[in-house]
């Protein structure tokens, strides 16, 4: 007996393109009880929080830097799912997702979805990696500079305290001789 819910390959591809980062494609294919669908929302929401922190607090916010790549990675995985759905042959799609239904030719809809997914996914993944690596190396360089400056600063403060102690000792001896 065929399943009453027919799952369109074209619609699944486009749902993955438009809402794959939040797991909407899994809800479309597997229903609301799919735990993996709900787990998509957590890192995507954390990534959105990171992006909002970067907008509000600037690019030097470390928590925003740590969280924002999560959104890019979730977008990229949604686009990967769209590519997989769109490139699955119609016969195999209907055999797996629509058993008992006749094979329906999909046309250009999934192909256009795959093209959009390639553009969006590649951009999101490259941007996330580039931003994350850039900030990592900037902060690593900053910490190295701070580590090199700390001993020099400690030496100058030590010399300052020695000079202050010596001058106060002289003033005590000078006043005692008067």
21 and 120 Cβ atoms separated by less than 8 Å: no
- The pLDDT of residue 168 is 52
pLDDT in tens, 112-156: 999 999 999 999 999 988 988 888 888 888 888 888 887 766 555
The whole-number average pLDDT for the span 150-174 is 56
- Eight-state DSSP code of residue 21: G
Quick count: other Cβ atoms within 10 Å of Cβ 81? 24
pLDDT in tens, 16-53: 999 999 999 999 999 999 999 999 999 999 999 999 99
**Dihedral-angle region of residue 107 (phi above 0 means left; psi in -120 to 50 means alpha; beta otherwise):** left
Residue 70 lies in a domain: yes
- Eight-state DSSP code of residue 23: T
Residue 169 lies in a domain: yes
Residue 2 lies in a domain: no
- For residue 175, pLDDT over 50 is answered with no
124 and 79 Cβ atoms separated by less than 8 Å: yes
Domain range holding 135?
A: 9-177
Confidence band, pLDDT 50/70/90 cuts, at residue 3: low
Residue 162 lies in a domain: yes
Confidence band, pLDDT 50/70/90 cuts, at residue 172: very low
- Eight-state DSSP code of residue 4: S
Q: Quote the number of domains for the chain.
A: 1
pLDDT in tens, 61-88: 889 888 999 999 999 999 999 999 999 9
- The pLDDT of residue 123 is 94
Residue 3 lies in a domain: no
Q: How far apart are CA 71 and CA 69, in angstroms?
A: 5
pTM, two decimals, is 0.74
Residue 61 lies in a domain: yes
């Amino acid at each position: 007996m065929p399943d009453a819910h027919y799952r369109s390959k074209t619609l699944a591809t486009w749902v993955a393109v438009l809402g794959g980062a939040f797991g909407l494609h899994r809800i479309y294919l597997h229903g609301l009880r799919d735990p993996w669908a709900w787990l998509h929302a957590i890192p995507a929401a954390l990534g959105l929080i990171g992006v909002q922190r970067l907008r509000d607090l600037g690019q030097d916010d470390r928590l925003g830097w740590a969280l924002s790549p999560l959104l890019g990675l979730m977008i990229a995985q949604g686009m990967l799912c769209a590519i997989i759905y769109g490139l699955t042959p119609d016969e195999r799609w209907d055999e797996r997702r629509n058993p008992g239904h006749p094979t329906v030719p999909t046309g250009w809809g999934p192909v256009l979805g795959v093209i959009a997914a390639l553009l969006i996914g590649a951009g999101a993944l490259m941007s996330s990696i580039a931003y994350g690596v850039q900030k990592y190396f900037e902060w690593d360089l900053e910490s190295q500079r701070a580590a090199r400056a700390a001993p020099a600063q400690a030496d100058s403060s030590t010399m300052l305290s020695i000079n202050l102690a010596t001058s106060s000792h002289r003033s005590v001896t000078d006043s005692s001789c008067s």
